[in-house]
């Protein structure tokens, strides 16, 4: 919902004409704006000058961090960034305007909680975990997953927004600041312990529970029984006290795929488009990750290929047997080794598609934003 501009709001920021307010947080104000060449956009302007100097510097660092994160993400994950000026006073960034409402507004916008139906909830779960997996594969940890940061567009697609407190996983910087929204923070965030991507998984589970009417942010009470299986079991695992015991976003997507949830909501095809390799990743690195996966969790070669290879190997075995008994043992050993290799090497649909589309090659690193 767009609100009128306040009396002290500017009419123009850079080349963008402001039309109204879309929202405000602790770090900045988001405006509906327009430009002649881009049409309507969302413009986020950093709130500056109201904090002490140290707090202002920290806010600027977080603002730059958001620009870096948004530049790396697919449009199916979030609202893509279009423009920014980190040297402006105050700095601002411009992203695609996605008309819609936040998940919080959708479920409890007027104070009355309206839980999503089962099919709506499953669609929300698989699409948000698809996006979150892509975020994590880019080496980004959001740290503030909550209903207000899930934007539901008119196309019903959920997008993760507000990367202002996101952290790059390859960053060596440590901070004693506690980031996140208390009602949706993980136990390790509350303790100010070192956090990993599975911190986002805990917050994601609470967000899905909220959408099901099974979590009250005010009291902190939750009830996973408001969610049906198989999603309920997944959420229970995500809410483990120890972050090491929680599944990753990639594992959750795989579980939803096996359960038929992903296909039912068109997220199987979407996974191919969203799940690009991390910056600097390679197809070889992807294969190494697969080989480290237990055999019973791996997807396998297509059935026609497997049948063809098996037939060829069987024929070869009979030929070698006719050649003489002294060659049987080496042939048997060779067949055994080749069979194990075929059994071990699998790939997921996303990797097949990436290779077909030429996306299995290393990517150039994205340079940092100016400023």
Residue of 144, 162, 200, 348 marked active site: 144
Measured between alpha carbons, how far is 292 from 290 in angstroms, rounded to an integer?
Answer: 5
- The reply to whether 155 belongs to the active site is no
Q: 241-247 — which CB contacts under 8 Å span 24+ positions? A: 241/187, 243/186, 243/187, 243/188, 243/195, 243/196, 243/198, 243/199, 243/201, 243/202, 244/198, 246/198, 246/201, 246/202, 247/198, 247/201
List residues with catalytic annotation. 144
């Amino acid at each position: 919902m767009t609100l009128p501009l306040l009396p002290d709001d500017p009419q123009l920021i850079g080349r963008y004409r402001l039309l109204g307010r879309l929202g405000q947080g602790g770090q900045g104000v988001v405006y509906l704006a327009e430009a002649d060449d881009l049409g309507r956009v969302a413009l986020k302007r950093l709130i500056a000058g109201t904090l002490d100097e140290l707090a202002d510097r920290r806010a600027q660092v977080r603002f730059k961090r958001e620009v870096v994160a948004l530049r790396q993400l697919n449009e199916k994950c979030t609202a893509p960034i279009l423009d920014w000026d980190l040297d402006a006073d105050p700095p601002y960034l411009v992203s695609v305007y996605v008309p819609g409402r936040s998940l919080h507004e959708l479920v409890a916008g007027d104070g009355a909680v309206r839980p999503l139906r089962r099919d709506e909830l499953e669609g929300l779960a698989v699409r948000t975990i698809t996006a979150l997996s892509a975020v994590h594969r880019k080496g980004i940890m959001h740290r503030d997953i909550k209903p207000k940061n899930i934007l539901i567009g008119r196309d019903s697609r959920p997008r993760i927004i507000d990367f202002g407190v996101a952290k790059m996983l390859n960053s060596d910087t440590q901070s004693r600041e506690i980031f996140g929204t208390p009602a949706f923070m993980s136990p390790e965030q509350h303790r100010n312990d070192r956090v990993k991507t599975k911190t986002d998984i805990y917050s994601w589970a609470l967000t899905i529970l909220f959408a099901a009417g099974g979590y009250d942010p005010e009291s902190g009470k939750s009830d996973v029984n408001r969610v049906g299986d198989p999603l309920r079991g997944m959420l229970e695992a995500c809410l483990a006290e120890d972050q090491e015991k929680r599944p990753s976003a990639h594992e959750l997507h795989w579980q939803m795929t096996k359960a038929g949830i992903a296909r039912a909501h068109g997220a199987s095809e979407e996974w191919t488009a969203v799940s690009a390799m991390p910056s600097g990743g390679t197809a070889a690195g992807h294969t190494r990750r697969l080989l480290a996966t237990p055999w019973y969790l791996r997807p396998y070669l297509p059935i026609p290929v497997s049948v063809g290879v098996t037939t060829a190997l069987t024929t070869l075995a009979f030929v070698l047997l006719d050649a003489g008994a002294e060659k049987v043992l080496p042939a048997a050993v060779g067949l055994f080794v080749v069979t194990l290799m075929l059994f071990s090497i699998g790939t997921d649909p996303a990797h097949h598609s990436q290779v077909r589309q030429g996306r299995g090659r290393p990517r150039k690193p994205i340079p940092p934003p100016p400023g």
